[in-house]
Homo-oligomer: A and B are copies of this chain.
């Protein structure tokens, strides 16, 4: 799986042959099929590992009773960006290669992906009710804006860049929560 993740990320699922994978490991194609029923099944395993990891981490954040909703949103954004440092390759495979899953597998993955989204959305809805977020916020668009900003980072965030994952997350959340506009000073 590790070897295939590196190859799928770099060259794409369709462009990576079983031969490429087993060559990277110094084994033969037969060995691959001893461990995986098909190339698609391997892809499914990668997808499952990724999304279930995310769901688990999201759940821990949401269930934390000590944090405010804003803090939880920050934590989720940070978690997504931090995850790219650790599992950026899986993330890129997840978004790019999902269409190569078969119908049944795709259904399962989309279900979990949607669950992640709904959990975030219901957090934002709570924030609106509790007064932490503006009442005129459209919960689903707010959710997708946050997710877009964070997920897009898998396209550009490199852990070796100028800013750390935490600083990127802080900046991004600052924009999302407080906005880019210069605040009007109360005294003016």
Chain A contacts to B: CB under 8 angstroms: 11-12, 14-15, 70, 96, 99-100, 124, 127, 131-138, 141-142, 144-145, 147-153, 155-156, 163, 168, 171-172, 174-183, 186
Contacts and interface: CB of A to CB of B under 8 A. Distances in A.
A180 B137 contact: yes
Contacts of A131: 182
Secondary structure of the A contact surface, majority rule? helix
Copies of this chain in the oligomer: 4
B137 A175 contact: yes
Given A70-B181, A181-B70, A144 B153 contact: yes
A178 B174 CA distance: 11
A147 B152 contact: yes
Nearest to A137: B180
B138 A181 contact: no
A176 B180 contact: yes
Of A100, A132, A152, which is in contact with the most chain B CB atoms at under 10 Å from its CB? Answer: A152
Contacts of A148: 148-153, 155
A181 B134 contact: yes
Given A156-B144, A175-B142, A182 B150 contact: no
A152 B153 contact: no
Contacts of A137: 175, 180
Given A12-B100, A144-B156, A175-B176, 9 more contacts: A133-B182, A134-B180, A134-B183, A141-B171, A142-B180, A145-B149, A148-B150, A176-B179, A177-B181
Contacts of A156: 144
28 contacts: A12-B14, A15-B100, A96-B96, A133-B180, A133-B181, A133-B182, A134-B178, A134-B181, A134-B182, A137-B175, A138-B171, A141-B163, A144-B152, A144-B156, A145-B171, A145-B172, A145-B175, A145-B176, A147-B152, A148-B148, A148-B152, A148-B153, A149-B149, A149-B152, A151-B152, A176-B179, A177-B180, A178-B179
